Amino acid sequence: MSYNHIEVRPISGALGAEIWGVDLSGDLSDAVVSEIRQAWLENLVVFFRGQTITPAEQVSIAKRFGEPIEYPFIQGLEGFPVITPVVKHADEKVNFGGLWHTDTTYQQRPPMATMLYALELPPYGGDTLFANCYLAYETLSDGMKATLEPLIGVNSSHKGRVVDTRAARIKDAPKEPNVARVAEHPVVRVHPETGRKSLYVSFAHTTHFKGWTEAESKPILDFLFEQQTRPEFTCRFRWEPGSVTLWDNRCALHNPINDYHGYKRVLHRITFAGGETA
């Protein structure tokens, strides 16, 4: 794919590309939006640097790419309910979403994408890892692919440690009752736009296969979680204030690294409505 309006610089062999030549706070032409979207579909996650955007501008930008939706458990920013502040305070030890996952797969229609805008960062650390779940699927044996093809994954908002990663933020700004939401999705998901198959489970949310016990599911799930996050299937993004990321929740995992205790980190998140998974 060649681009006429933006410059696309991949940051790893697996996924992730920086996009240069775009001021997100300006009027984005349809041609620029279309090329960003193409780069996003090809690279699974795209990064912009040096942006300065207000909450209102972040919502307007988001609307060029999809339909912003609210996060179920935490109140959004005052006046901007679709913006969820992603915060870790200097005196906290746990970070929001600090394990491999794709966002809110415990919803029947999990979000298509997530956009994050970095406002305040530690002097070092706080990078985010991303992983390419197309590659995780494509590199499996034919035998494993055939085994996984009919399986349905059960995904919970309240699996193990993931509950702890949002506890402090729920305490600050509670929203709907903090009880488990559960949704079923195919383990091998066909991407609605690219048509490619990906491994659609995650360490944070997938508890077992439908019709299997957790104990029966665990050995295979553990293998799949390891497969998804093989180093050669990942990239690592180093944030700067003003960085904006946009990732595809349908085929990529992410994991914010919790290595900056004693420093505050603040980002503004918007997730986008997604469709049924099967």
Does position 97 interact with Co ion (CB under 5 A)? The reply is yes
Q: Of 68 and 97, which has the nearer Cβ to Co ion?
A: 97
Active-site residue flag, 103:
yes
Active site annotation includes 254: yes
Which residues 132-171 are close enough to bind Co ion by CB under 5 A?
Answer: none
Tell me which stretch binds Co ion (CB under 5 A): 23-31, 56-64, 97-105, 207-215.
97-105
8 or 169: CB nearest Co ion:
169
The β-bridge partners of 153 are 185, 209
- 85 touches Co ion (CB under 5 A): no
Q: How far is the CB of 131 from Co ion (least distance, A)?
A: 12
| 87 three-class SS | strand
Q: What's the chain's length in residues?
A: 278
Based on the residue annotation, tell me whether 158 is a catalytic residue of this protein.
Answer: no
Out of 250, 254, 265, 268, the active site residue is: 254
251 exposed, middle or buried (CB, 10 Å; 0-12, 13-18, 19+)? buried
Sheet of 206-209: strands edge to edge? 182-186, 152-156, 206-209
38: tokens are 């193409």
Tokens of 41: 């579909």
CA distance 185 to 199: 11
* Catalytic site includes residue 269: yes
Residue 111 within binding range of Co ion, rule CB under 5 A: no
> How many residues bind Co ion, per CB under 5 A?
2
Interface with Co ion (CB under 5 A): 97, 103
Residues belonging to the active site = 101, 103, 254, 269
